[in-house]
Chains A and B, each alone.
Chain A
């Protein structure tokens, strides 16, 4: 009797630990093969046939299609440079320069990967439509209320994610540091 109970206990623990760990890694992702520059994180290998099993699991779970390596690379940010989660009720400033790429797009998503509704139908910027200063740097203001310049509306949602996709770029599996890929900074400049 004791043996049966102990076996049962072991099996229950095994199921809980195993499925729990899988669920955690598939939803939150792992540090495996990530490239982190400032607040931005990319997984260059998800665009190749050498994608790691954890990334494959999380791709299958979310239902997205990763950007292929010959196409480009996607960087995601969910916090600002000071690790504060991006809050749609605050003013967030994304500024600086981007790595060499033929085109890039900056897009705002909610935490499930959906676009955020707004009256302007402005979901992001492309490198071509953004207004830059004379030295080539740009500044995007992400806020719930309208702002001058490059304004990206948040719809006032609490948490969001930014995705910077570089297309036709040398940034990829071989990239390691900020020097190879100067990413724009993200700063929360004011909360109501």
Chain B
């Protein structure tokens, strides 16, 4: 009898371990997470506009229907990414997610402070390789460190009224996200943004 009790208590304790391990493993083994859902419908290292969220089809659950959304799925193995997003009339934001859907950085048009949000995205190793220059005037770009080699950049533009949706979509259509080809010779770092 006492043995049975031990087996039950041992089972529950072991269950706790199983629970912790599975919670930590779930983001890695999930097949229907946002990155996996977006992989077949987005281009790598380029901006892809997502279809508007509608009751019958939405690429992801809980999408805000008031926003035009575009995705740049990135892979930094061939070099840093340059991102430029023109600001739409109402509200524009750029959010960065790792391969496992952790939002590690987000910025909106007001904190970017100008007509085009311009960012350089690179891994920490690529950032460390950048030449430490004196203040070069041309380089007033933000540098973002990506914790993972691959991930998602989500560009969003608000349509405050349904009639303004084409405008929001047009702003995103003019944005670009591409691998930086020329080596970044003369680039100073701006004070790095907070994560």
How far is B158's CA from A6's CA once the two chains are assembled, in angstroms?
60
**Interface residue tally of chain A, by bracket?**
35 or more
Q: Known contacts being A18-B15, A49-B102, A71-B108, is A60 close to B27, with CB within 8 Å? A: yes
Asked if B54 and A60 make an inter-chain contact with CB atoms under 8 angstroms apart, the answer reads no
Asked if B37 and A63 make an inter-chain contact with CB atoms under 8 angstroms apart, the answer reads yes
Residue of A13, A49, A65, A129 near B15 (CB, 8 A) is A13
Q: Interface on chain B toward A: helix, strand, loop, or mixed SS?
A: mixed
Residue of A60, A68, A126 near B33 (CB, 8 A) is A60
Q: How many residues of B contact A (CB 8 A)?
A: 66
Residue of B15, B26, B65, B90 near A60 (CB, 8 A) is B26
Q: Known contacts being A10-B8, A107-B64, is A19 close to B22, with CB within 8 Å? A: yes
- Asked if B187 is at the interface of the complex by the 8 Å CB criterion, the answer is no
* New contact pairs (15) apart from A14-B13, A129-B160, CB-CB < 8 Å: A9-B11, A17-B12, A21-B16, A22-B18, A53-B23, A64-B61, A65-B95, A66-B101, A68-B106, A70-B107, A70-B108, A103-B91, A105-B66, A126-B160, A168-B110
Residue pairs across A and B with Cβ atoms less than 8 A apart, 21 shown, are A6-B6, A13-B8, A13-B12, A14-B17, A19-B19, A22-B23, A26-B26, A49-B147, A56-B102, A57-B23, A61-B26, A63-B32, A63-B60, A65-B95, A65-B97, A68-B96, A70-B95, A70-B108, A105-B158, A109-B62, A128-B160
Chain B residues within CB distance 8 Å of chain A: 3-4, 6-8, 10-19, 21-24, 26-27, 30, 32-34, 36-37, 53-56, 58, 60-66, 90-91, 93, 95-97, 100-108, 110-111, 147, 152, 154, 156, 158-162, 195
